[in-house]
Amino acid sequence: MAQLIQIGNSQGIRIPRPLIEQAQLAGKALRLEVVEGGLLIRPMTQTRAGWSEQIQTMIEQQGPEAVDEDWLDAPLVEQGDDVRE
């Protein structure tokens, strides 16, 4: 059973360790959502989590991606284009 406890001018939730372990919440930032009849607690998900490791693995397996030499010196704007800042 979780309990609300006083923490300064706020309140915190004391969650039993077995529930934290079962929900895999240990050490994670949490997102709280008000839902009908209660409060939903979820771990925060990080956008692009693990991408760096996955890219490094692909580079190790397949080598670096080839550079498209044809576009390196291409102008960013065609002459005569009306560019406004």
State the pLDDT at residue 22: 93
Structure tokens at 65: 């991606």
Structure tokens at 14: 């004391």
What percent of the chain stands above pLDDT 90? Answer: 41
Residue with tokens 């771990």: 43
User: From CA 42, how far away is CA 64, in angstroms rounded?
Assistant: 37
- pLDDT average, residue stretch 63-83: 74
Most confident of the following: 1-5, 8-12, 44-48:
8-12
Domains of the chain, residue spans? 1-63
CATH topology of domain 1-63: Pemi-like Protein 1; Chain: D (2.10.260)
